[in-house]
Structure 1
Amino acid sequence: MKKNKFVLALISVTLLLIGTVDVQSNSQSVMAATQGYVKVKTKKKVRLYWVSGQHSNYYALPNRKYSYSSKSRIGKKHLSAYKIGNNAHWILAKDVKIVKKAKAVTYVKAQMVLPRGYNRAELLKAYEGHPSKGFIAASMQGMKANTFSRNHLAESKADNQTQVDLDNITPEQLMTLSDFSLRLINEARNNLGLKAWVDSAGTQKLAQAIATEYEQNGKTIKDGHYVPGIVRACQANGLNLNDNYVEDMAGFYNQKQTLSMTELKKSIYFGIKQMIFGYVGSGESDRGKRSYYQEWEHAGDLFNTQGSLHDGDYNYFGFSVSRTDDICSLHFISVPTYVVKDKKYNLSFKP
């Protein structure tokens, strides 16, 4: 089945509500677990910094308590600093004093659970454009019950501390994100009694080739699926496909080049959750509105439930990220097993 839908989650993870003198929370931002609180030592505002060690145009105010999520050394001069708020700003240790230590940090493993009433028979109706009221209600419950994208907890201390350069994601970091995505998809598939999708080196290579096509041609999720690039990437990787049969897509708006692993995981989690439950809102705030549940073509792909001869099958999976014009596109790439087995479609592709 051609994959011609996508999800755009315009969630800014770096937006400051007040521009030049303060740092405040953004309800749609991803916030790392609080380790403690600091205050400026003097009666004057002090400059804030980026993780690169360069100063920003923002300041911390005196007589105000700021939460911090980590302490580290930043920039070429290895300045000791605290990461404050939820906007990846750093305040130098020499400028502040600790006023309160937080309780022990709790970490949580992200999970994806399908609610009662979400089944393949109902999904197929929704995929065909006729969702029942009960299925929409189940989808709304699914958006509510799966909370990792909106809580402040990380999966691990390492995720909070690992900074990911979106323009230079390392192979190890990309594999971590791919494994995370596949784990969530397969947890949901298991809820429906479906076979697990399979991690695939060949599909991972294809996913990266597709991300490269987007970046080299200035395309993002806002442009929809970049079909010419997808076709070129498929054919270069030995798949004789003439349209988009492999990509599901989510994304988010982000002004910064660097995010923590926790922030990226939360954005990926939200994108997968949107696709499964047919939610088209740009953030969590509208998840209680029934009218925002409109599109289950992604779910049909993720659960191989499309009213075809290949329903119930499984796919080979890979994942990649592209970034253009402050928009991060998340490419969930899957190659159906029937395509891999068919010599008409598979010229030289090795999953």
Structure 2
Amino acid sequence: MKKSKLAIAIINVIFLTTIPALVLHEPTPVSAATVKGFVKTKKNKKVRLYKLSGKHSNYYASPKSQYPYSSKKKIGKKRLTAYKIGNNSHWLLAKDAKVIKTIKPNVNVQATMKLPAGYTRAELLQAYQGNPSKKFINASMSGMNTNDFSRIKNGETKADDQTIIDLSQLTPEQTDTLTTFSLRLINQARNNLGLDPWRDSIGVRKLAQDIATEYVVNKKTIRDSHYVPGIVRACKANGLDLNDNYVEDMAGFYNQNNTMTMTELKKSVYFGLKQMMFGYTGSGEQGRKQRSNYQEWEHAGDLFNTQDSLYDGDYNYYGFSISHTDDICSMHFISVPTYIAKNKKYNTGFKP
């Protein structure tokens, strides 16, 4: 079906972690990477701190504060067990300390997408037609909340955490990773509805890249909505005689830096898909509990081939790409319906 409307999905992506500062007599920052937990004094009085040598320092731990610690070991000649607090080698003896909480090491997790109870094709079709039921909005709100990969700190792999991506020059391997990642999520959700999976397609991967190039060359972004002339040119160049946008769903986010990690980018892709599936029009996770932010399920109708047409329940061929212009990253979710790929009227040389 023609994808004539777009609910602009601009995601304000902010990756910022703060931790409590250590306060002795003045603030001392602690690196988040070293914090293993928090301690406080056992008794309601100040406690002398020690040096690594086991000698007294000139500082005390306050009973009113809790302190992040980065190490627990035996110090000095007497081998006294102590917690290292702060960056200045202050040690709080274990006999004077009470552990408040420990921080588990960052564990990698695999992103998943699951549709909640109440999210059915019948309900989706009603929402696609502009009349979502209260039950379906509730289900969509639940889906935005329970699918939380975009909110948690954890990434899928350590390599993702360490891989820095230039948004203007993704490598073929990086695009492949994101294509596989996004298709996996789409098909997990489709499986929940009993739908056939979308197919990874070499032909649509090339089409997706050509569409991204059209956006960059012509300085277009998601803020301009779908760039239909460029989409049409890319389709015709790839053997699809289409005169409007029948292939692109899109989401995006601001990013003033030209780089981000693969983990950060996957979380942005995840959030964009989540927005489209659950009809969410807010510009960040913080608005997900507001019913008024659930307004548009045309993207979901595309992703789940549920549009009240002869081809409902069919599957599409899929590819993914990214374009980055003027600090805006546009994510192009490109799919070619099988009825177009199989129709000689539209297919003049396209090979999935």
Normalization by structure 2: what TM-score? 0.77
The Cα of 1:67 is off from its aligned counterpart by 1.8
SS at match of 1:67: coil
2:307 — aligned with what? 306
> Residues 21 and 27 of structure 2 are in contact (CA less than 8 Å); yes or no, is this contact kept in structure 1?
no
SS at match of 2:336: strand
1:329 lines up with 2:342 in the alignment? no
The Cα of 1:97 is off from its aligned counterpart by 7.8
1:243 — aligned with what? 244
1:186 — aligned with what? 187
Give runs of aligned pairs for residues 1-351 of structure 1, distance below 5 A: 1-13=1-13, 29-30=14-15, 63-68=28-33, 103-351=104-352
Letter of the 2:338 partner, please give it. Answer: T
The whole-number CA distance in structure 2 between the counterparts of 1:269 and 1:283 is 12
> Residues 234 and 240 of structure 1 are in contact (CA less than 8 Å); yes or no, is this contact kept in structure 2?
yes
* Runs of 5+ consecutive residues of structure 1 not aligned to the other structure: 14-28, 40-60, 70-95
Give the CA RMSD over aligned residues: 2.4
The Cα of 1:63 is off from its aligned counterpart by 1.9
Kindly provide the CA deviation profile for residues 107-166 of structure 1, in whole angstroms up to 9, marking residues without a partner as x.
Answer: 111010000000000000000111111001100010011000111111110110011111
Aligned length: 287
> Residues 21 and 30 of structure 2 are in contact (CA less than 8 Å); yes or no, is this contact kept in structure 1?
yes
The whole-number CA distance in structure 1 between the counterparts of 2:192 and 2:16 is 29
The whole-number CA distance in structure 2 between the counterparts of 1:151 and 1:236 is 41
SS at match of 2:230: helix
Normalization by structure 1: what TM-score? 0.77
- Show structure 1 runs of 4+ deviating over 4 A: 36-39, 96-102
The whole-number CA distance in structure 1 between the counterparts of 2:2 and 2:350 is 19
Closer, same or farther in 2 for the Cα pair 1:326/1:151, shift >3 Å?
Answer: same
The Cα of 1:275 is off from its aligned counterpart by 0.2
> Residues 204 and 319 of structure 1 are in contact (CA less than 8 Å); yes or no, is this contact kept in structure 2?
yes
Closer, same or farther in 2 for the Cα pair 1:283/1:174, shift >3 Å?
Answer: same
Report sequence identity in percent. 65
The Cα of 1:65 is off from its aligned counterpart by 1.8
* Runs of 5+ consecutive residues of structure 2 not aligned to the other structure: 35-86, 92-101
1:18 — aligned with what? none
The Cα of 1:9 is off from its aligned counterpart by 3.9
Closer, same or farther in 2 for the Cα pair 1:348/1:141, shift >3 Å?
Answer: same
> Residues 208 and 321 of structure 2 are in contact (CA less than 8 Å); yes or no, is this contact kept in structure 1?
yes
